[in-house]
Amino acid sequence: IIYVGKSINIRNRVMQHFGEISNKSAKLQRSVHDISYEITGSELAALLLENHEIKKYQPHINHAQRQNSYPFVIYVAADSHGYLNLRIQKTHKIEESDAQCLQEYTSKEAAKGHLRSLIKQFTLCLNKTDLDTGPGPCFNHHIGNCFGACMKSEKPEKYNDRVLETIAAVSKNLKGSCLVVEPGRNHNERTIIAVEDGHYRGFGYLDEGVPLSRLSDAMDHVRRFAETPESIKIIHSYLASKQVERVLRW
């Protein structure tokens, strides 16, 4: 196996690989003897399967993806006025000595998407993030979704309580056991991604309408995979940036 990849439209992606003028396409054109594929139904399952097979087979053309690739983080650090700020940066570029890394991401866009959802959920000030660094009141303050940290009318202690709630919510996001339920390979089934005691166990498929009152009810239908350092990060990032069908927790 020399290359592993995923796509919503596999045929178009294959044609793109062989039609591009690039070093990767040239290697594929010279070396490919056969192409196989597996339909997963769920993009999250595809991401996890792609990661598993790249780590297992170490394909030559996937050189960059064989390495850990979560360069961006949301981190927490206090500003000069005592407010806790949530900021996005590459890990090696964080300058604040008191910075606390909250979560890692594959791209800056994924980090921004998660940060926006946290701002909305916990009524945080845009000015206390990287998403609005201009002077004066932030956009959320203008529309009534910020209590005035950007204007120093909300005291740091009160604002920081909500930031601490945010940190607690993110840090426990995948502790314990849960099933992420996603669309299946057809309309009569669902994809299930299993997390047990905070560890990724694998994914599988269940017929529509099968009741799930316990995690053990689903595990017989789960294809087991060895956990990699990226597995939970992939699930975290996906849940932060995508709308999933539902998450069942125990």
Q: What is the pLDDT of residue 65?
A: 63
Q: Phi-psi region for residue 79, left (φ > 0), alpha (ψ -120 to 50) or beta? A: beta
- Rounded average pLDDT over 47-73: 82
Q: Which of 31-35, 151-155, 165-169, 219-223 comes out lowest in average pLDDT?
A: 165-169
- Rounded average pLDDT over 43-63: 91
Q: Which residue has the higher pLDDT, 177 or 250?
A: 177
Which has the closest alpha carbon to 32: 7, 10, 3? Answer: 3
What is the residue-wise DSSP string for 39-105? --SSHHHHHHHHHHHHHHH--GGGHHHHS----EEEEEEE-TTS-EEEEEEEGGG---TT-EEEEEE
Q: Which of 108-117, 185-194, 237-246 comes out lowest in average pLDDT?
A: 237-246
Average pLDDT score over the chain: 89
Q: What is the pLDDT of residue 66?
A: 58
Q: What is the pLDDT of residue 69?
A: 65
Q: Which residue has the higher pLDDT, 65 or 207?
A: 207
Report the percentage of the chain scoring pLDDT > 70: 95
- Rounded average pLDDT over 200-211: 92
**CB 172 within 8 Å of CB 103:** no
Asked if pLDDT for residue 124 goes beyond 60, the answer is yes
- Rounded average pLDDT over 17-31: 90
Q: What is the pLDDT of residue 94?
A: 83
pTM (predicted TM-score) = 0.64
CA–CA gap between residue 124 and residue 226 (Å, rounded): 38
Asked if pLDDT for residue 247 goes beyond 80, the answer is yes
Residue 161: pLDDT band with limits 50, 70, 90: very high
- Rounded average pLDDT over 174-183: 87
Asked if pLDDT for residue 90 goes beyond 90, the answer is no
Residue 187: pLDDT band with limits 50, 70, 90: very high
- Rounded average pLDDT over 171-197: 88
